[in-house]
A and B are shown apart, each in its own frame.
Chain A
Amino acid sequence: SAVISQKPSRDICQRGTSLTIQCQVDSQVTMMFWYRQQPGQSLTLIATANQGSEATYESGFVIDKFPISRPNLTFSTLTVSNMSPEDSSIYLCSVEVPGRETQYFGPGTRLLVL
């Protein structure tokens, strides 16, 4: 498996501001994913972040709202821009471990937008 950390673990933000979430993995991975999970709901994939290329966004998510960086094989950031209360959610970083064909999750970032 992989050890994944996220910062911050939680935050309370004001409407109209932006928050950048960091994801750090203890080993090199090719594919990193960002999910959103609203209370009582399942996982919603926001985008896939591969090192050296632009992130690939799922339907309903755009780069202007959720810019992603992937500067190397162990780190990624997701920014939630111009936040509104509807962005209140848990944001999860996930990685695919080479050879395992599945994904492991970080502890999540709990965001509340007032």
Chain B
Amino acid sequence: QKEVEQNSGPLSVPEGAIASLNCTYSDRGSQSFFWYRQYSGKSPELIMFIYSNGDKEDGRFTAQLNKASQYVSLLIRDSQPSDSATYLCAVNPTSYDKVIFGPGTSLSVIP
């Protein structure tokens, strides 16, 4: 059973702080990792992808991948109330034809 796990939250952080969202996956051979943001009542939106170990930065977002430990994280610097959403981790496992989504972590940024 290929699985992707996340803390459901809610995770609350004050405005301006760093929000840290974590995700673990079961398929050790997985190669592609994605973070989606989903605002309430909207569909998921791809915000980051990472393929290699280490960090990948895009504006206020940093994705971190550690394949040896089978976890991927998303850091949001200078969190804003507009970042309040559910964040879905997704993994493309080896020998599989579809992306596996985690259950999502609800983030609330408090002004």
Contacts and interface: CB of A to CB of B under 8 A. Distances in A.
Contact of B104 (A42, A96, A101): A42
B107 to A, nearest CB: 15
A92 B101 CA distance: 14
Q: Is the interface of A mostly helix, strand, loop or mixed?
A: strand
Contacts of A31: 97-98
A101 B32 contact: yes
Interface residues of B, number: 18
Interface stretch (A60-68, A70-78, A102-110): A102-110
Interface of A: 1, 31, 33, 42-43, 45, 48, 90, 92, 96, 101-108
13 contacts: A42-B101, A43-B88, A43-B101, A48-B97, A101-B92, A102-B34, A102-B92, A103-B90, A104-B46, A105-B45, A107-B42, A108-B42, A108-B43
